[in-house]
Each structure stands twice: as C-alpha cells, then as structure tokens.
Chain A
C-alpha cells in the first residue's frame, strides 16, 4: 500500500531560521524535506505515512499579509495534493497558533483535504478554530512536543484514511461541539459518585457535558439624566444603507458596519434596507425604523427627552453569527462608542 502523503506547516522558529527578528520570513515550500518537528512525526508514522513537503512561513508575514499568505500556501498545498495536512503544533505561541488554525481550516475547507493542528488550550488560535479543524490539546511549551506528536500523528493517520474519529477525550483533540459516543471504563453511576465526592471536597472535576456557554451580562444602572444623555443605536437586525455597501453577510456575519446618520430624520425604503437573511425582510425594507428606530429617537431628541442621538450607528446580522465574532465586533465598537462620549446604547435585535 502506498504511504499516506503529509504536508507539514511550521513557522520560522521551528524551522530554525530565527526568532522574532525573522518573523517576516515569507512563505516557502521545501519539497521532499522534513524540517524540525517533522522528524518526530516521521518517527511516529513509521512506514504508514511520510511528510512529502514542509511549508515554512514567518508568523508576522502570515498575520500581516493574511490573504496573500493564505493564497500562497493553499497553492503550495494544492500542488502537493497530500492525504492530510498538519499545522504546528504551536503550543502557546499566539500568532503561530492563529496561523496554524487559519491555514488548517482553509486547507480543509477550500481544498477538501483533512487537516489538523495542535496548540495549548489558552492559545488565542484555539478558541478561534477548534470548532473548524481537529485541534489537539498540547502543553504550553515546546517541551511538550513528544506528547503532542504522540496524539497528533495517530489522529492524522485516521483522518487521512477517512476513519471514524472517536470522542475528544479519547483522541486528544479539544471538544469541538460535536458530541461523539464512546465507552468509559466505569459505569455512569460510579462516575457520578466519584464526581460528587470530588465536588463535595471542592476538588477539581470535569463535567462530561459542559452546559452551553452562558455569557450573562448584568444590566447597567438606569440612566439618570436622559435629557442630557447621548444615545447610540446598535442592531443585530442587519439595517444598512441601501445596497449594503460593506457587504455584510445575510448570515454568519464576518464583520459589522458603521454608518453616519447625521441629519437623517427617518429611514426610508429608498435609503435603507436589511441585510439579514433570517427573517422576512419585507417590513424592515419598507421602513427600516421598525428595526432601527431613528425616527422615534429624532422625535425624542426634538422633544428634549434625550440629549442627542449619536451620529453613528453600528450594525451586523445576528443570523447564525458566531458568539465569538459578535463579541469581537462589540469589543471593538464599544471602545469607539466610549471614545465618542456615548452615555447609553439601544440595542435592537430581530
């Protein structure tokens, strides 16, 4: 049987080109070469698989030239047509982790080649990509290389062969939101008793089913002096200027929009619409004030109920948009709102 073909991605540091000073090293492919951690993978693959090429890219180069670097590397991988693509492991190196996650996800999604990566659970690349590609949980430094390869190599072989992938705790990848059955050593009741004993003793225990992430936010205290407050409008209802100039996606939005409504007294059918694909848009398109109540706030402004309506509004589509993306958007525009002296925000959803 032919050996499984692997393409391996590493950064400038693991390729022993250099540290931070060499982080702008552009993407290059070394066909037929096994570099750095590749040696450990090769040892672990034995005769089953071989690394046919190693792609090396500086972390700064990758992250600062994201689209170019991604396209270059995808082209390199495509040409090699491997059975599986491995990126990293990146351990706790943040930009390397993001690069590994980005490129592994892209190879899998765009080339249809099964991919995996590995990194420390607190690496920012982990949260960003663990639900998109198999991501092995590693230690927080390169001292954990042996352990990482021990988990990544067999998983890579399974992926290449198209075999069923077992549960995260069995295979060593980070939980990715896909529930997979497996047999534990002890029956459930015994596991429950053991868990209770730990919980009673305030010792750490691991739940077998983490509850969905509840990110509850306590409401701020009420605005005391509304008549002098600067109020901004923010919506996940997808209201955009007619024509959707920034191409905000109708679902799973990747960005948000910031639009100036200085002097706009009313959102009309001719001037505004919704980009949202998750509800019947007829009424929002007819009169976007139904989702983003500019008209009412202008009235209130005039009547002196509120101080003023902020001249910028922020918008995205909440339709299937990842919580992590929504959070990232809000982190960014909240700073802008604060900088602009906004006292309160009306957030409308659909």
Chain B
C-alpha cells in the first residue's frame, strides 16, 4: 500500500469569527467548534482554550490528544469505523496539521490524571508541551454514567479534530512523505537479501478507561491481526484510555506511531518492513495465551526474521509482553521489546511484574515512579481539583508554595512505550 502524507505546518492558533488556515495560522471559530462538540446531547457544555509551548499553562485532567488530519485521496476517511464510515484506509493521500493537537480534558473519574505542562520541568517530559494545543474541556449532563461520559468525550475530540482537519483539504502541503510497503511476493522479489521484519503492537484492552479501538472495534474482542503500517496514519487505531497517562498511547501517538515511522526509515535499506501486527492485553489469562500464540504464529507465517514489540501500560501487560517475546523468540524470530519501568521512587524495586531471559533486547521509556516537582503555573486549563487524587500523586502533592510533588506517572506520554520520547533509564 502507498500513502502520501502531506504535512502542513501550523505556526499559531487564534480564535476568530471564521475557521480557516492561512499562512500556517489556524483560525478557529469558537462558536463552530462548540457546535461540533455539542452535537452529542450527553455533553452539557464545552469550553475551548489555546495553550502554546512556553506559556505558563497546565492542562489537566487530559483525556486524549489528537492530530487533525484529512483524507484527500484514496479510500475511506480519517477515523474509519468511528467518524468516517468503515472502509480500508492507508492508501492515497492524507494531510496532517503538524505542530498542533486537539486536547480533550474533563473529569470522568475522581482519580483521573493526565497533566500537560507547557513550560517548566514537566514540559521536558510530556511530548505535548511542544505542540500548539487547542484544548476542549467537556462537562457532561447530570447523572451520566462514566462509560457514557468517556465515550462522549472520546467522540467529541474526534469530531473536533476532523472538523479542524477538513480546513486543510484544499491547501498545498509544506512537505510530502511517501510511505509504501509491498505485498509478500513483491517484497521477497524486491528485497531478496534483506531481513524481513514487522512491528508487533500491543493495545491496551482491559476495560473501561483502559480500551483501544481498531476501526471502531473494541481491541479486547479481536484476535491478533495484520495491518498495513500506513493504516494508523489515517486514524485506524484510536485511544479509549485515560488512566495512568504516562504510558498510554493517546490517539496522537497512534497516528504518529514512532516505531512505524522509524521502521519505514529503514525499509528497503536495513530490512524489509513487512507489516504491522496488532494484539491486545486482556485481563483474562486464557485470552493472553491465545493472543500471544497468535502473534507468534503470525510472525512465523510471515517468515519474519525480526520484530519490535511495544507495550502499553503497567502490570497486567508486562505478562503479555513477556509471553509475546518468549513465544516469538521461540519461533526463531529476533525480538526487541519496548517497555517502561516502575522501579519505585528510589529506583531499587524490580521494574517489571514479569521477566524472562528471552527478553535480552529491551528499550525502556524510563522509571515512571521518578518524583518530579512541578512549579505553580499561572493558568490551569481544566481543574487541579483532581490532581491530588491521581496515580503517583499523594496527600502532600499540593505543596504550600503551590507546586506539585508527583511521580512521572501523571504526565501525559512521559514514559511512552512506543518509544515516542528520548527518556530512558539505566
């Protein structure tokens, strides 16, 4: 499949009477985006705000981060099975608004988390301090159930991102990149001497606030399957997560999956990037057995020489990670895994809840228990009411001078396990 990605660089976001993109500036009609968000009657009110890199702004509790995109040529539309109708995506031409994101925030549960600081020490850890953020804080109607609220906010974010993406439909991209993979036979003929590799992505799929959707399908209901690596670029995988923000993949990370992009960099050079295998992280142990059997089986059927496996989350997924690694290695396929660590505040505890000697090639996103002091910032988008209740935060979290003592766990994307960041540990 061949996908042409057109990048349109956004230099600034401003509220205006009319929504448009001109000279790299995104003008947003507040009225128009509010109307898009409020299409769902479960959302009582929504407020929009803009947060820019370097500003003294803290966004919390963050639910999702989304990059606006628009499909300009080829089958399907952005977020198939969710916003666009079900159709296979990943080919043709897509435009993405680079340097910006739509950030959804709102309290779904009392212990929710997710902080994005636009300046200060926290900004070094969250990747979304570097994007211009159009932030939407959603308030639900009264007496709504948490799962209905989660879904309403999730969809509102996709609708707004799609609305913003549409503004770019007739623009000329600043930069174009082409991503292309070949069919099995074609690949063997084209790259007879290159090792065959794939990406195995584990998707969070444990239950409410711990879910991921593939073409709209709840990932806990899938058996592992193969995708073209370009499909994610059209929003084939979206996030339904909002607990433990540091090592969950917001939709933005799925769209820009760094393993997919860095494997494409070596496609046709160091190896033949054959495909993208997705699997899940269910709580039921027999499901884990089945899914890891299947990933290993798919690796074998594709005659792979190597894979990179990425994890999402802590604890339960450690078991899936090790099962996948062990079984794939046992098929003679060389495996590198990406994880993060919970080594305790002092760094002395055992980092993972599971381990195996087969996992001899590990990349880590760092120790999520590391303590960090976040200074008081001038403005809060959302509310700090819940910050003291989030994972890695504690009673003494809010200190006298207004600063927060927290663990990296609370920072959105800080120890991402697709290797999105430079953070590591030894």
Binding site for B on A (CB under 8 A): 167-170, 175, 177-193, 195-197, 199-200, 205, 207-212, 214
Q: Considering the chains assembled together, what is the distance between the CA atoms of A183 and B424 in angstroms?
A: 6
In the bound complex, CA of A196 to CA of B307 (Å): 7
A-B contact list, 22 entries, CB within 8 Å: A175-B426, A177-B348, A178-B343, A179-B341, A179-B351, A180-B425, A188-B417, A188-B418, A188-B421, A188-B422, A189-B338, A191-B363, A191-B419, A191-B424, A192-B259, A193-B265, A197-B271, A200-B197, A200-B305, A208-B363, A209-B341, A209-B364
Once bound together, how far apart are the Cα atoms of A256 and B97, in whole Å?
67
Complex contact B420–A189 (CB within 8 A): yes
Decide yes or no whether B357 CB sits under 8 A from chain A. yes
From B262, B305, B357, B367, residue with most partner A Cβ within 10 Å: B262
Interface centre among B195, B355, B363 (most CB of A within 10 A): B363
Partner of B425, one of A182, A186, A199: A182
A180 CB contacts on chain B under 8 angstroms: 347, 367, 425-426
Q: Which B residues are in CB contact (< 8 Å) with A177?
A: 348
Task: Say yes or no for B423: interface residue by CB 8 A criterion.
Answer: yes
| Pair B359/A211 contact, Cβ less than 8 Å | yes
Kindly provide the distance from the CB of A121 to the nearest chain B CB, expressed in whole angstroms. 15
Question: CA separation between A169 and B408, bound complex, in Å?
Answer: 21
Is there a chain A Cβ closer than 8 Å to B142's Cβ?
A: no
Inter-chain contact A200/B355, CB cutoff 8 Å = no
Does B422 contact A185, Cβ atoms closer than 8 Å?
Answer: yes
Question: Which of the residues B124, B261, B425 comes within 8 Å of A179, measured between beta carbons?
Answer: B425
**Chain B residues whose CB sits within 8 angstroms of the CB of A178 once the complex forms:** 343, 346-348
Contact of A212 among B258, B265, B355, B408 (CB under 8 A): B355
Residue of B270, B341, B348, B355 near A197 (CB, 8 A) is: B270
Task: Verify B266–A208 contact, CB threshold 8 A.
Answer: no
Which residues of chain B are within 8 angstroms of A197 by Cβ–Cβ distance? Answer: 266, 270-271
Cβ contacts under 8 Å, A175 to chain B: 426
Please encode chain B, from 39 to 83, with 1 for each CB lying within 8 Å of some chain A CB and 0 for all others: 000000000000000000000000000000000000000000000
| Min CB gap B331→A, angstroms | 15
**Residue B334 CB within 8 A of the other chain:** yes
Write the B239-277 contact mask toward A (1 if CB under 8 angstroms, else 0): 000000000000000000011011101100011000000
The residue on B at minimum CB distance from A212 is: B355
* Residue numbers in B under 8 Å from A200 (CB-CB): 195, 197, 270-271, 305-306, 334
Q: Is the CB of B114 closer than 8 A to any CB of chain A?
A: no
Q: Which residues of A contact B259 (CB under 8 A)?
A: 189, 192-193
Task: Report whether A188 and B258 are in contact in the complex, using a CB–CB cutoff of 8 Å.
Answer: yes
Q: Report the bound CA distance from A199 to B197 in whole Å.
A: 12
Check: B172 CB closer than 8 A to any chain A CB: no
Closest chain A CB from B232 CB (angstroms): 13
What is the CA–CA distance of A264 and B244 in the complex, to the nearest angstrom? 59
> Which residues does chain A contribute within 8 Å of B347, judged by CB atoms?
178-180
A192 to B419, Cβ gap below 8 A?
Answer: yes
Say yes or no for B365: interface residue by CB 8 A criterion: yes
Is B305's CB under 8 angstroms from A208's CB? no
Interface, chain B (partner A; CB < 8 A): 124, 195, 197, 258-259, 261-263, 265-266, 270-271, 305-308, 310, 334, 336, 338-339, 341, 343, 346-348, 350-352, 355-357, 359-367, 370, 408, 416-426
Which one of B341, B361, B417 contacts A199 once the chains associate, using CB atoms below 8 Å? B361
Q: Which residue of A lies closest to B263 (CB)?
A: A193
With a cutoff of 8 Å between Cβ atoms, the chain A residues found around residue B351 in the complex are: 179, 209
List 16 additional contacts besides A187-B420, A200-B270; criterion CB under 8 Å. A178-B346, A182-B424, A185-B422, A187-B262, A188-B363, A188-B365, A188-B422, A189-B259, A192-B308, A196-B361, A199-B334, A200-B271, A209-B364, A210-B362, A211-B356, A212-B355
Contact B420 A188 (CB under 8 A): yes
Check if B362 sits within 8 Å of A207, measured CB to CB.
yes
Residue of A nearest to B305 (CB): A200
With the chains together, A168 CA to B420 CA distance in Å? 22
- Tell me which residues across on chain A come within 8 A of B338, comparing CB atoms: 188-189, 192
Also in contact, A199 and B426, with CB within 8 A (given A179-B341, A188-B363, A211-B360): no
Q: Which residues of A contact B370 (CB under 8 A)?
A: 181
In the docked arrangement, what's the CA distance between A340 and B370, Å? 52
User: Are B362 and A209 in contact, CB atoms less than 8 angstroms apart?
Assistant: yes
Question: Are B420 and A214 neighbours in the complex by a CB distance under 8 Å?
Answer: no
Distance between A192 CB and nearest chain B CB, rounded to angstroms: 5
B417 to chain A, nearest CB (A): 8
**Cβ–Cβ < 8 Å partners of A205 in chain B:** 361
- Most chain-B CB neighbours within 10 Å: which of A168, A170, A186, A196? A196
Once bound together, how far apart are the Cα atoms of A214 and B346, in whole Å?
Answer: 23
- Residue of B whose beta carbon sits closest to that of A131: B348
- Given known A-B contacts A179-B347, A200-B305, A195 and B336 have beta carbons under 8 A apart: yes
Docked Cα-Cα span, A190 to B266, in Å, equals: 10
Given contacts A179-B367, A188-B419, A188-B424, contact A211 B361 (CB under 8 A): no
Report how far A131 CA is from B348 CA in the complex, Å: 11
Question: Is A189's CB under 8 angstroms from B306's CB?
Answer: no
Q: How far is the CB of B340 from chain A (nearest CB, A)?
A: 9
Residues of A within 8 A of B367 (CB): 179-181
Q: A177-B348, A179-B341, A200-B305 are known contacts. Are A195 and B423 too (CB-CB below 8 A)?
A: no
Q: Is the CB of B366 within 8 A of A186?
A: no
Find the residue from B263, B336, B346, B423 having the highest chain A CB count within 10 A.
Answer: B336
Q: Which residues from B are CB-within-8-Å of A168?
A: 426
Across-interface contacts of A192 in B (CB, < 8 A): 259, 262, 308, 310, 336, 338, 363, 419
Q: Which 3 pairs across A and B sit closest by C-beta, in order of nearness?
A: A188-B419, A189-B419, A189-B258
B334's contact among A182, A186, A196, A214, by CB below 8 Å, is which? A196
Residue of chain B at shortest CB distance from A205: B361
B336 touches A167 (CB 8 A): no
Chain A residues with CB under 8 Å of B423's CB are 181-184, 188
Q: How far is the CA of A209 from the CA of B343 in the complex (A)?
A: 11
- A211 and B339 alpha carbons, distance in the complex (Å): 12
B265, A208: Cβ atoms under 8 Å? no
Chain B positions within 8 Å of A169 at CB level: 426
Q: Determine the distance from Cα of A332 to Cα of B418 in the docked complex, in whole angstroms.
A: 47
Give complex CA distance A199, B270 in Å.
Answer: 12
Q: Name the residue among A175, A207, A209 with the largest chain B CB count within 10 angstroms.
A: A209
Which one, B124, B266, B341, B360, contacts A193 given CB within 8 A?
Answer: B266
